[in-house]
């Protein structure tokens, strides 16, 4: 046991920790811990009151056990007791325990808040800091409610100690991040901004984090901070390396504060005031100059701190994107770092240069470093650095260097790490398309891509090459020749077979003149790959064969022979069998004219944004592909080649669907666009439309809409207690009191109604609320029955239905006010009319207020209006079901949950629930009779959303797997959430 260094004395704790360390096995450790837990429990329960010291020691032991990864379910009360100790160390341990282990036990929170309140008003700076730390560590909404108005006062008060100010600033920041609606800066704004001028560097350092966050959200209100930040920065940058004493770090003056100031400035455009701007440019130049000076210390801390400021300055220069001189200097500086011996600097230089490459002022300057970057891609030993190099090559690529960059990326792919291959493939495919001048190069590149990294070539990539070949007749002959050669390889990737099959099926005639690639040779080559391929590829090959019959009548007999053989015409796969049967029939009964019409060459694809780009964006997030790049690609895409998002095979089938009864008998799945000219007349095709509405290009706009706005519109919580017998001061509360927050069990109550429409929604000693509801299409009507269970009259009875946040635009709920008096024992009724405008996830809130014996009752429930209420059941066959299932194959369209059964797993109960859900329960669809599948269409005013559901019970494990696929991802997620509570 090491000597405990300072001031400490909890030997019992040290003994316990050593014991744990001496345990030879996990079992021994658990045994020792259980013994200790039993000991502590008995001490806490014992008759002898524990002194503060022992309490502290035991609480500390519990904390240690928790941090080892074990659950702790007691001791919270003792920790809370420690908070009110007047001994600093006991208080400190109490707060630490609360910070690490707090749970949402509301009883406890109230006690904790009380202790915090006492400490905050104690005027003892160390106690105040402890309390502020605790608030910042827990940061819960209850705490925000209790203290959000108090802390700004502490922060700006003239007599607050510096250390307390620092804690208060960061505490407020934490509360602002968790509950922005509760932190109102209003009157404090200017005094908070002026903390940038504070004498004490520590106060400025803490305050600037708060100011930056507030500026991001309210730039106008805080814009006076710009000039203050510039002057503060200027003073730091021009100070000598020792001026700032303790705030100088390895000869760098105030590096943390400098970085923060530069970051704050990035919330704003360049200063308009000429003098301020001049001063700032001077600062930035000084920072760039200092990078060239010899280091004042050999320590890495010195150069790290210095370069941290430099990189932040460069970020600001890039953010302004208006000073060509500074941009070029920044680029040169980063160029030096590219060859630095520190890996960290090389990494950051590559990353930072990526953003520089998108600025028109510095794009050319970035390009001069191409050789260094290529070298980095080849020689860096760390994959994360190589990844950066690949990103930069992608960013600096333009028409002048595309061939070189694509070639380098291709050769890197041969050895690239698995983790980044898919992304690399997408990047190569995009660059090859975007900068293609001659299309033979493009075709070569993509085929190389398939050869080198076939497994990572996604559907989008090979669809795209086919779209381009179809739309460009000058490249078709070359493409046919090239795929023919590529297929000669004894082992070629399945994606190559797909591209080859498709292209030869369309354009094989262009190379058929050469005896080495005569029709029969072509067919035999394709067919030699057939048996090694998966079902979708075989299906595609069968389509290629029927196209051959049309292109080359001489192959008809051979191909019919193939189609006729048992392995095709009796294939166990329905899709293959159907194709074989139909193609065989088509080729034998249709006249050559009919055949030629049905199997005509594919029409050009409509021009659209490249689906590959969309995929990359999805992979890397919206920030990864800059706007200019998108516009660029659209422009160039338009000029060079069109392309649709749908798979070529789909189109092939759409063209030849005279022979196929189902409108989209396609295993590869419709990607996004509905088949050309599909008229939504019959029920079947309506469903097709619905299912194909959301595609990979649908932007997830909701992502940016973080909780911030929604939080603002949530009702403010003012009263902590609901439905408790009114205390004296409640009597005088005005009836216009704000609605209470939803009951803690509101979600539970809501869940009870997901699969049923009628029942008792809520009941307590005073009030019962019953519900009856019915839905049709996107409309619903709900009857609410409020029953007074007492013998006393309810006065001022009001009910309000509200749609919080974005629900307002998704759901329309109308109702009339109810009678303000409810006699004892009486029941009143209220009717709600509901219209679903678009899909939604939240529930409308029902607030009820009334006076009972003088006390105001205020409660809020969630109305059980859930998205599934607008379901229309859809019957379909097993075949149709799985076909649609496959069409909804994008990862975000699916939501899945595996969970433990909470209720009976009885078949009849399950069936009743699934029917109650509103979907059609489909029999004989799933090969496993234990499973349940359902289908339905959600009707909203703006669109219809097709939904498929599969529930797989596992009776042995008492578990379920629930899978949802919907044409809209938000619906999949919401339904999955709702349903996971039901079984």
Partner 1 sequence: MMRFMLLFSRQGKLRLQKWYTATAERDKKKMVRELMQIVLARKPKMCSFLEWRDLKIVYKRYASLYFCCAIEEQDNELITLEIIHRFVELLDKYFGSVCELDIIFNFEKAYFILDEFLMGGEIQDTSKKSVLKAIEQADLLQEEDEPPRSVLEEMGLA
Q: Is the dihedral of CA 168, 173, 178, 182 positive or negative?
A: positive
Place of tokens 């989209």: 664
Q: Is 274 annotated as a binding residue?
A: no
Q: Is 281 annotated as a binding residue?
A: no
Considering only CA atoms, which of 953, 736, 702 is closest in space to residue 840? 702
Q: Is-contact 116 147, C-beta < 8 A?
A: yes
756 burial level (CB within 10 Å; 0-12, 13-18, 19+):
middle
Considering only CA atoms, which of 213, 216, 297 is closest in space to residue 255? 297
DSSP class of residue 604 equals: P
Q: Least distance in Å: CB of 137 to partner 1?
A: 8
Q: DSSP of 481-518, one letter per residue?
A: HHHHHHTTSSS--HHHHHHHHHHHHHHGGGGTTSGGG-
Residue 65 or 750 having the CB closest to partner 1: 65
Residue 209 or 660 having the CB closest to partner 1: 209
Residue 387 or 970 having the CB closest to partner 1: 387
DSSP class of residue 600 equals: P
Considering only CA atoms, which of 586, 601, 576 is closest in space to residue 667? 576
Q: Least distance in Å: CB of 302 to partner 1?
A: 10
Q: Least distance in Å: CB of 88 to partner 1?
A: 4
Q: Is 45 annotated as a binding residue?
A: no
Measured CA to CA, the distance from residue 308 to residue 978 in angstroms comes to 47
Residue 170 or 978 having the CB closest to partner 1: 170
Q: Least distance in Å: CB of 87 to partner 1?
A: 5
Give the neighbor-by-neighbor strand order of the sheet with 811-815. Answer: 759-763, 767-776, 779-788, 827-836, 811-815
Q: Is the dihedral of CA 485, 486, 492, 496 positive or negative?
A: negative
Q: Is 57 annotated as a binding residue?
A: yes
CA 941 to chain CA centroid, Å, is 27
Q: Least distance in Å: CB of 847 to partner 1?
A: 27
Q: Least distance in Å: CB of 366 to partner 1?
A: 20
**Inter-residue long-range contacts of 555-561, CB under 8 Å, 24+ positions, other chains counted:** 555/519, 555/520, 555/523, 556/587, 558/520, 558/523, 559/523, 559/587, 560/584, 560/587, 560/588
Q: Is-contact 862 715, C-beta < 8 A?
A: no
Residue 139 or 739 having the CB closest to partner 1: 139
Residue 10 or 449 having the CB closest to partner 1: 10
Residue 343 or 931 having the CB closest to partner 1: 343
Considering only CA atoms, which of 363, 364, 399, 392 is closest in space to residue 377? 392
| Residues near 306 by beta carbon (within 8 Å), at least 6 away in sequence | 252, 255, 290, 291, 295
Three-class secondary structure of residue 536 per DSSP:
helix
Q: Least distance in Å: CB of 793 to partner 1?
A: 44
The two tokens of residue 285 are 């130049």
Q: What is the CA radius of gyration of the chain?
A: 35
Residue 76 or 884 having the CB closest to partner 1: 76
Q: Is 53 annotated as a binding residue?
A: yes
Residue 90 or 894 having the CB closest to partner 1: 90
Q: Least distance in Å: CB of 50 to partner 1?
A: 11
Q: DSSP of 185-217, one letter per residue?
A: -GGGHHHHHGGGG-S-HHHHHHHHHHHHHHHHH
Residue 343 or 777 having the CB closest to partner 1: 343
Q: Least distance in Å: CB of 310 to partner 1?
A: 9
Q: Least distance in Å: CB of 191 to partner 1?
A: 20
Q: Least distance in Å: CB of 250 to partner 1?
A: 8
Q: Is the dihedral of CA 909, 911, 917, 918 positive or negative?
A: negative
Q: Is 43 annotated as a binding residue?
A: yes
Residue 566 or 706 having the CB closest to partner 1: 706
Q: Is 202 annotated as a binding residue?
A: no
Residue 80 or 171 having the CB closest to partner 1: 171
Residue 17 or 698 having the CB closest to partner 1: 17
Measured CA to CA, the distance from residue 432 to residue 582 in angstroms comes to 39
Place of tokens 């046919």: 480
SS3 content of the chain, % helix, strand, coil (to 5): 55, 10, 30
Q: Is 300 annotated as a binding residue?
A: no
Considering only CA atoms, which of 135, 40, 37, 46 is closest in space to residue 83? 135
Residue 309 or 865 having the CB closest to partner 1: 309
Buried b (16+ CB within 10 A) or exposed e, 472-481: beebbebbbb
Q: Is 11 annotated as a binding residue?
A: yes
Q: Least distance in Å: CB of 381 to partner 1?
A: 7
Q: Is-contact 439 475, C-beta < 8 A?
A: yes
Q: DSSP of 241-279, one letter per residue?
A: TTTTGGGEETTEESHHHHHHHHHHHTTSPSPSSHHHHHH
Residue 367 or 973 having the CB closest to partner 1: 973
Considering only CA atoms, which of 350, 456, 447, 467 is closest in space to residue 406? 447
Q: Is-contact 18 1, C-beta < 8 A?
A: yes
Q: Least distance in Å: CB of 315 to partner 1?
A: 8
Measured CA to CA, the distance from residue 203 to residue 948 in angstroms comes to 57
Q: Least distance in Å: CB of 157 to partner 1?
A: 18
Q: Least distance in Å: CB of 742 to partner 1?
A: 19
Residues making up the annotated binding site are: 11-12, 43, 53, 57-61
């Amino acid at each position: 046991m090491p000597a405990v260094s300072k001031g400490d004395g909890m030997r019992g704790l040290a003994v316990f920790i050593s014991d744990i360390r001496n345990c030879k096995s996990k079992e021994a450790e658990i045994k020792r811990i259980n013994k200790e837990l039993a000991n502590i429990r008995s001490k806490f329960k014992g008759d002898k009151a524990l002194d503060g010291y022992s309490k502290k020691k035991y609480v500390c032991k519990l904390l240690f056990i928790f941090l080892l990864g074990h659950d702790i379910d007691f001791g919270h009360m003792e920790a809370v007791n420690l908070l009110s100790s007047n001994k600093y160390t006991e208080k400190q341990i109490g707060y630490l325990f609360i910070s690490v282990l707090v749970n949402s036990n509301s009883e406890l929170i109230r006690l904790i808040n009380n202790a915090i309140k006492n400490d905050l008003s104690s005027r003892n700076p160390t106690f105040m800091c402890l309390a502020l730390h605790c608030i910042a560590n827990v940061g819960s909404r209850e705490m925000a409610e209790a203290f959000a108005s108090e802390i700004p006062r502490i922060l700006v008060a003239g007599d607050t100690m510096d250390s307390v100010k620092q804690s208060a600033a960061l505490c407020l920041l934490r509360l602002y991040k968790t509950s922005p609606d509760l932190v109102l800066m209003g009157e404090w704004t200017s005094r908070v901004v002026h903390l940038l001028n504070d004498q004490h560097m520590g106060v400025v350092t803490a305050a600037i984090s708060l100011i930056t966050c507030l500026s991001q959200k309210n730039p106008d209100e805080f814009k006076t901070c710009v000039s203050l930040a510039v002057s503060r920065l200027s003073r730091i940058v021009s100070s000598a390396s020792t001026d700032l004493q303790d705030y100088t770090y390895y000869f760098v003056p105030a590096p943390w504060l400098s970085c923060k100031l530069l970051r704050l400035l990035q919330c704003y455009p360049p200063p308009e005031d000429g003098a301020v701007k001049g001063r700032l440019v001077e600062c930035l130049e000084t920072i760039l100059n200092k990078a060239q000076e010899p280091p004042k210390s050999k320590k890495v801390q010195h150069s790290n701190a210095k370069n941290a400021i430099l990189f932040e300055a460069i970020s600001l220069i890039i953010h302004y994107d208006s000073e060509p001189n500074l941009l070029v200097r920044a680029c040169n500086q980063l160029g030096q770092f590219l060859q630095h011996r520190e890996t960290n600097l090389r990494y950051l230089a590559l990353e930072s240069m990526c953003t520089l490459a998108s600025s028109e002022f510095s794009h050319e300057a970035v390009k001069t470093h191409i050789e260094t970057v290529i070298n980095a891609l080849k020689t860096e030993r760390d994959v994360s650095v190589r990844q950066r190099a690949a990103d930069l090559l992608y960013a600096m690529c333009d028409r002048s260097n595309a061939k070189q960059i694509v070639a380098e990326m291709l050769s890197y792919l041969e050895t690239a790490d698995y983790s980044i291959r898919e992304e690399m493939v997408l990047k190569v495919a995009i660059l090859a398309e975007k900068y293609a001048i001659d299309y033979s190069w493009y075709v070569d590149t993509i085929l190389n891509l398939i050869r080198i990294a076939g497994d990572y070539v996604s559907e989008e990539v090979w669809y795209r090459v086919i779209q381009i070949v179809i739309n460009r007749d000058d490249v078709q002959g070359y493409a046919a020749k090239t795929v023919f050669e590529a297929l000669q390889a004894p082992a070629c990737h399945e994606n190559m077979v797909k591209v080859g099959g498709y292209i030869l099926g369309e354009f094989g005639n262009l190379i058929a003149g050469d005896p080495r690639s005569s029709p029969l040779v072509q067919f035999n080559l394709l067919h030699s790959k057939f048996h090694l391929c998966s079902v979708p590829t075989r299906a595609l090959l069968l389509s290629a064969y029927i196209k051959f019959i049309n292109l080359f009548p001489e192959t008809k007999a051979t191909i019919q022979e193939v189609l006729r053989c048992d392995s095709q015409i009796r294939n166990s796969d329905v899709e293959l069998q159907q194709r074989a049967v139909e193609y065989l029939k088509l080729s034998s009964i249709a006249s050559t004219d009919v055949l030629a019409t049905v199997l005509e060459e594919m029409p050009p694809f409509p021009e659209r944004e490249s689906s590959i780009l969309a995929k990359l964006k999805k992979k890397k997030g919206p920030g990864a592909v800059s706007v200019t790049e998108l516009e660029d690609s659209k422009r160039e895409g338009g000029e060079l080649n069109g392309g649709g998002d749908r798979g070529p095979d789909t189109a092939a089938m759409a063209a030849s669907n005279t022979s196929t009864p189902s409108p989209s008998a396609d295993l590869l799945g419709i990607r996004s666009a509905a088949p050309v000219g599909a008229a939504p007349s019959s029920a079947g095709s309506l469903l097709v439309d619905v299912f194909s509405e959301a595609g990979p290009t649908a932007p997830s706009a909701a992502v940016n809409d973080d909780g911030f706005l929604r939080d603002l519109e949530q009702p403010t919580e003012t009263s902590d207690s609901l439905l408790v017998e009114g205390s004296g001061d409640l009597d005088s509360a005005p009836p216009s009191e704000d609605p209470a927050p939803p009951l803690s069990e509101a979600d539970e109550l809501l869940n009870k109604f997901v699969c049923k429409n009628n029942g008792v929604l809520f009941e307590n000693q005073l009030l019962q609320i019953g519900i009856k509801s019915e839905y049709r299409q996107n409309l619903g009507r709900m009857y609410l029955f409020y029953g007074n269970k007492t013998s006393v009259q309810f006065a001022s009875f009001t009910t309000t239905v509200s749609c919080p946040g974005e629900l307002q635009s998704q759901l329309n709920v109308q109702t009339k006010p109810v009678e303000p008096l409810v006699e004892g024992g009486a029941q009143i009724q209220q009717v709600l009319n509901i219209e679903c405008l678009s899909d939604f996830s939240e529930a409308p809130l029902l607030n009820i207020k009334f006076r009972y014996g003088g006390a105001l009752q205020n409660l809020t429930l969630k109305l059980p209006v859930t998205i599934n209420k607008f379901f229309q059941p859809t019957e379909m066959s097993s075949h149709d079901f799985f076909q649609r299932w496959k069409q909804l194959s994008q990862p975000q369209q699916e939501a899945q949950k595996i969970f433990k059964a909470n209720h009976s797993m009885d078949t009849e109960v399950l069936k009743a629930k699934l029917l109650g859900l509103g979907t059609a329960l489909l029999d004989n669809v799933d090969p496993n009779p234990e499973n349940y599948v359902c289908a339905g269409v959600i009707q909203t005013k703006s669109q219809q959303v097709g939904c498929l559901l599969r529930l797989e019970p596992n009776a042995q494990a008492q578990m379920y797997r629930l899978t949802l696929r919907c044409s809209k991802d938000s619906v999949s997620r919401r339904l999955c959430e709702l349903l996971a509570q039901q079984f």
